[in-house]
A and B are shown apart, each in its own frame.
Chain A
Amino acid sequence: MLKVLSGMGLEVKFPQNQTCCGQPAFNSGHRKETEKVASHFLDVFGDGDEAIVCPSGSCVSMVKHYYPELFRNDPEKLSRVEKISSNIYEFSEFVFQRKETLSLNSAYRGRVTFHDSCHTLRELGINSQPRELIKSLNGVELVEMEMADACCGFGGTFSIKYPEVSKSMLQEKTDSILDSGADAVVSTDMGCLMNIKGLISRKKMPVKVLHLAELIAFEDTK
């Protein structure tokens, strides 16, 4: 992500104190614990003067859609949430807005398939941007898998609470990926990628698992 953004001529900062947006606790019903971590997020990312770019759509959705609810009784934090919300972006949407500055010379050669991560797609409404970016890369071909928009089964703590159900969903996802004939699967959320890669590595399936940024900045490792 750093390589891609710097390559686009942008100055990138990395606030050293950042940790997490709090979504794992929020999605498990632990409101108080979420507030603590989310407040830290607000402290770190300050006033939202600079664009915040995130490699996972679900974190962006947490800030945009669920922080307002989380801090509904705290006007001071709520106003910071509003500012930050208007200037936080999922990686692909941010890059797509500035695509003319993007170098399209990924070293990757081959067919990739795209998995819509649920929150990027359904909470942020992003589906064409990452696909357009993939298609524009030289030497990369996009092939659609069946049910690209079906959940991979991650769902945060869902995958620990009901691992058998989660695995069954994931199995369908990796079957679709293999059936597509692609040699890499690309997505826009670290949660989905970690989940999908978990099974692909375990079963030694012949498919690479890449974040969109890794695909764009792919380097020949020889």
Chain B
Amino acid sequence: MITERIDFKKNSAEALKSPKLKKALVNFTDRSRNSRKKAISEVSEWEELRSEARRIKEQVINNLDSYLLELEESVTRVGGKVHWAKNAEEASSIVVNIARENNVRNVVKSKSMATEEIELNRHLISSGINTVETDLGEYIVQLCNDHPFHIITPAIHKTKEDISKLFSEKFGVPEYEEPQELTNIARKELREKFLSADMGISGVNFAVAETGTITIVENEGNARLATTYPDIHVAIMGIEKIVPKFEQLSIFLSLLARSATGQKSSTYVSLITGPRREGESDGPRQFHLVFLDNGRSDIAKSKETRESLYCIRCGACINICPVYRQVGGHSYGWVYSGPIGAVITPQLNDLQKTADLPFASSLCGACRDVCPVKIDFPHVLLSLRQRVVEKTKGKPNPAQFMEKMAFRIWSFVFSKPFYYNLAGRMMVFLQYFYQKENELQGLPYPFSKWTKEKNFPAFSKKPFRRRWKEKYSAKMEHQ
């Protein structure tokens, strides 16, 4: 949960100062944009897949309660246990309690944004349970005491030099330069952790209601190891992650891999249906599935913004976003960044504290075009903007108050042609002090925000409508 207001302006100004970050962002977004483009060009029925996936998600979110009950029943049937968590605190305590009841000392985790959302690591570690991230990017982020920069590729803001230095500091090894050498160090360190773990924690990419199967998609094999080797497996899923039928999984797996990383398929796709069964020689002895609500059922109630829950967390919207490309993940102040962050963070947290985010978009709509489930991001952002304005009516901050007044005056002037023309004439008079050739510079606040870096066109002394009138006065009878 967010405790302090997210200041997007301040955060992004900080990010914009770093040329190193800019370079990393441009490289990363260019690469992922191109690989996605190539991957989807190989699927002739791509648009049909998107439509079908959206239809399925619509159906799931409209009937979320019954699908959750069906999933619970299926998971129980195959020997797993389902836990319902209303909010972040409940979810964390459920996991901590499972660990305590089983005397768990060491936990290995695979990448999961839901666990980031509930700050599970902090809870486990403060309860005296060693908890280690095993996805390479997440491991790096954890070692730096940092937060993920991206939902799929959490450490793209770190260069290999940064990582080399970090590993050298943490593990007393030389400062290797080759990524392969660095990966080997992490692999060696992590292998020890896997072997001593009593519990593995994972997220869930998709959970099949009819069979109770959870699906985990990854490229490093760490999630497979974390969910099979330790005696206990705890999976945490946002309640929107349901897919009704097993046969529908293939649609989502294809959409996810190609949208996220431009792969035909992820390297590891694990389908897990309950714990080890009688007669089997390996696999965890306990399987727990935590249903995390944490505000999602409220989103499901809103007709305007419900589609935010269709998201399959591929990150394509982030990779295409021209705003993210400038400011990176941390500017969005919480677990989710880019367009999906701008949409979901304000809905899962206090709206006042996250009010900057729905406005942190130029509404260009590139995200909507790449979204595998066709979330209409501009539409949802606009709904949230209206919500912010409505909610702040009672006690607006000075900037919100100024804006409200400005739009009130604007709506008056722009709905009365007489005042509109008068205002135009006033501008021609007022601009005299700022005019340089045909453009304006050095305008007073708030227009100074524009003229600090750019010129603004001057109002014409003889506006178009006056020229029109003179030229066509004979034809004026129709207007």
State whether B420 touches A13 (Cβ < 8 A): no
* A169 interfacial contact with B, CB 8 Å: yes
A197 neighbours in B (Cβ, 8 Å): 455, 457
Name the interface residues of A143-197: CB closer than 8 Å to any CB of B.
149-151, 153-170, 172, 194-195, 197
Complex alpha-carbon distance, A148 and B314, angstroms: 25
- Would B455 and A15 count as touching, CB distance under 8 A? no
A107 at the interface (CB under 8 A from B): no
Report the minimum CB–CB distance from B182 to chain A (whole Å).
31
Q: Determine the residue in chain A with the shortest Cβ distance to B465.
A: A16
Residues on A lying within 8 angstroms of B by beta carbon are: 13-20, 22, 24-34, 36-37, 39-40, 66, 118-119, 122-123, 149-151, 153-170, 172, 194-195, 197-199, 201-202
1/0 per residue, CB under 8 A from A, across B270-282: the answer is 0000000000000
Q: Which residues of A contact B386 (CB under 8 A)?
A: 29-31
Q: Is the CB of A33 within 8 A of B408?
A: yes
Interface size class of B (residues with CB under 8 A): 35 or more
From A33, A165, A170, contact of B410 by CB (8 A): A33
Whether A165 lies near B455 (C-beta < 8 A) is no
The residues of A that contact B64 with a CB separation of less than 8 Å are none
CA distance A164 to B253 in the complex (A): 38
Inside 8 A of B359's CB, which chain A residues have their CB?
28, 157-158, 161-162
Report chain A residues within 8 Å CB of B387.
29
Residues of chain A with a CB closer than 8 A to B363's CB? 27, 118, 155-156, 158
Contact with A along B404-419 (1 / 0, CB 8 A): 1001101110110100
Contact across chains for A30 and B455 when beta carbons are under 8 A apart = no
Q: Secondary structure at chain A's binding surface: helix, strand, loop or mixed?
A: helix
Q: In the complex, which of the residues A39, A159, A202 has the most CB atoms of chain B within 10 Å of its own CB atom?
A: A202
Contact A162 B389 (CB under 8 A): no
Q: Are B453 and A167 in contact (CB under 8 A)?
A: yes
The answer to whether A199 and B407 have CB atoms under 8 Å apart is no
Residue of B nearest to A38 (CB): B415
Partner among A14, A39, A40, A202 whose Cβ is within 8 Å of the Cβ of B454: A202
Are B446 and A28 interface neighbours, CB within 8 A?
Answer: no
CA distance A156 to B382 in the complex (A): 13
> Contact at A33–B411, with CB atoms within 8 Å?
yes
Known: A30-B411, A160-B447. 11 other contacts (CB 8 A): A18-B417, A29-B382, A29-B387, A29-B388, A122-B369, A150-B366, A157-B359, A159-B362, A162-B360, A169-B362, A198-B450
Interface contact B449-A160, CB-CB below 8 Å? yes
| Mask: chain B, 199-231; 1 = CB below 8 Å from A; 0 = not | 000000000000000000000000000000000
Q: Which residues of B contact A40 (CB under 8 A)?
A: 414-415
**Complex Cα distance A163/B368, Å?**
24
Given known A29-B382, A122-B365, A169-B322, contact A164–B16 (CB-CB < 8 A): yes
B325: A residues at CB distance < 8 A:
169, 172
Tell me whether A16 and B16 are in contact (CB under 8 A).
no
Does chain A have a CB within 8 A of B8?
yes
Q: Which residues of A contact B456 (CB under 8 A)?
A: 194, 198
Minimum CB–CB distance from B397 to chain A (whole Å) comes to 13
| Complex Cα gap A108–B243 (Å) | 57
A30 and B366 within 8 A (CB) = no
Nearest A-chain residue to B476, judged by Cβ? A16
Q: Are B410 and A151 in contact (CB-based, < 8 A)?
A: no
Complex CA–CA separation, A150 to B455 (angstroms): 22
- Rounded to whole Å, the gap between the CB of B377 and the closest CB of chain A is 11
Least distance between A56 CB and chain B CB atoms (Å): 14
Q: What B residues does A162 contact at CB under 8 A?
A: 8-9, 12, 359-360
With A28-B403, A33-B408, A39-B415: A151-B449 Cβ-Cβ less than 8 Å:
no
Q: Are B465 and A153 in contact (CB under 8 A)?
A: no
Which B residues touch A164, using CB under 8 A?
9, 12-13, 16
CA distance A167 to B8 in the complex (A): 15
Q: List 22 A-B contacts (CB under 8 A).
A: A14-B464, A14-B465, A14-B479, A17-B417, A19-B415, A19-B417, A19-B420, A22-B414, A25-B410, A28-B385, A29-B390, A118-B363, A158-B359, A159-B450, A162-B12, A163-B453, A165-B360, A168-B16, A168-B327, A169-B325, A197-B457, A202-B453
The answer to whether B364 touches A122, judged by C-beta atoms less than 8 angstroms apart, is yes
Residues on B with C-beta less than 8 A from A27 are 363, 382, 385
Whole-angstrom CA separation of A18 from B417 in the bound complex: 7
Interfacial chain B residues near A163, Cβ < 8 Å? 449-450, 452-453
Expressed in whole angstroms, the minimum distance between the Cβ of A66 and any Cβ of chain B is 8
Q: Are A122 and B449 in contact (CB-based, < 8 A)?
A: no
Q: In whole angstroms, how far apart are the Cα atoms of A159 and B233 in the complex?
A: 48
Interfacial chain B residues near A158, Cβ < 8 Å: 359, 361-363
Which B residues are CB-close (under 8 A) to A37?
410-411, 414-415
Measured CB to CB, the closest approach of chain A to B285, in angstroms, equals 51
Contact status B389-A151, CB under 8 Å = no
Measured in the bound complex, the distance between the Cα atoms of B453 and A169 in whole Å is: 13
Write the chain A residue with the least CB distance to B455: A201
Of A25, A151, A202, the contact of B364 (CB 8 Å cutoff): A151
Distance in angstroms from B411 CB to nearest chain A CB is 4
CA distance A203 to B8 in the complex (A): 28
Smallest Cβ-Cβ distance to A24: which chain B residue: B410
CB distance A169 to B323 under 8 Å? yes
Cα–Cα, bound, A128→B477 (Å): 38
CB distance from A37 to the nearest CB of B (A): 5
List residues of chain A with CB within 8 A of the CB of B390: 29
Report if B47 contacts A (CB, 8 A): no
For the complex, is B191 an interface residue (Cβ under 8 Å from A)? Answer: no
Whether A165 lies near B450 (C-beta < 8 A) is: no
- B326 sits at the interface (CB 8 A): yes
